[in-house]
Amino acid sequence: MNFKNKRLPGKMALWLAACALIIAADIPAQAETSKTSLKGPGVEQTQETGTSDKNADTATADITQAIVVDENGGFHVTVSYYKKQTDGTWTQSFQVPGIYGRNGGTDNKQEGDGKTPYGTYSFTMAFGTKENPGSILPYHQIQETDFWIDDSNSAYYNKLVNIAETPRDWNSGEDMSRQGVSYHYGLALNYNEDCVPGKGSAIFLHCYTETNDSGSAGCIRIPEDNMKQLIQSVDANTRIMIRKAAE
């Protein structure tokens, strides 16, 4: 079900406001990425510059957009997108069914475990095999030589590289150009930004085509129309919150 500018009840609005304060206090400022740096997801590939200020201090930023991922059992989730209005209230722009890790969620993500990491994250870049639809974040249009490295022994672990230009030291990586509809549009989370070996790689929010999906390796999937909307809307101060189901 989709929602348009639905005013939130007081409880949810207060929860989002509290989350915004916690996020601003807890998340460190992101460093500006560069082609030569070895730190951070996606930094080995250049992106088309968006309109946002990549140097914005997200530690003190006013969080005005939130994507909330709630577990529904198995690999099914509900993904809700909220925006903060000028009067301080929050409204829900959409709520859609989604897919996440085939083995559920985890507080201790490991490479290859088929789980989605719980927590709150920002986005480092937007990408897609389709042309830039008007991204605010830096946008990278995927090329045939683009791979995201998932070999923990590689210096390029959890990085996007152009294999035609990068000295190969890896045994495995995700071929970004051969993922079909899934990568028409995507957003890279800043999960494992320090590229710690074995802690998981290539955690994205991206498209799906069918709800009978069998689960992901750790990414979150939503319908393409909603993914395109996010590409056109989210900025450096947007956060995605992946929440553990209440026990």
- Residues annotated as catalytic are 206, 219
Q: What does the alpha-carbon distance between residue 13 and residue 8 come to, in Å, rounded to a whole number?
A: 6
Quick one: CA torsion of 230, 231, 232, 234, rounded to 10 degrees? 60
Under 8 Å CB-to-CB from 214, ≥6 apart: which residues? 75, 102
Contact 168, 202 (CB under 8 A): no
Q: What does the alpha-carbon distance between residue 66 and residue 215 come to, in Å, rounded to a whole number?
A: 23
Backbone φ, ψ for residue 240 (5° rounding)? -110, 130
Closest-CA residue to 67 (of 176, 189, 181, 160): 189
Under 8 Å CB-to-CB from 60, ≥6 apart: which residues? 24
Residue 164: how many other CB atoms lie within 10 Å: 9
Positive or negative: CA dihedral 195, 201, 204, 206? positive
Residue where the block lists tokens 């997200």: 58
Helix, strand, coil: what percent of the chain each, to 5? 15, 30, 55
Which amino acid, 226?
A: N
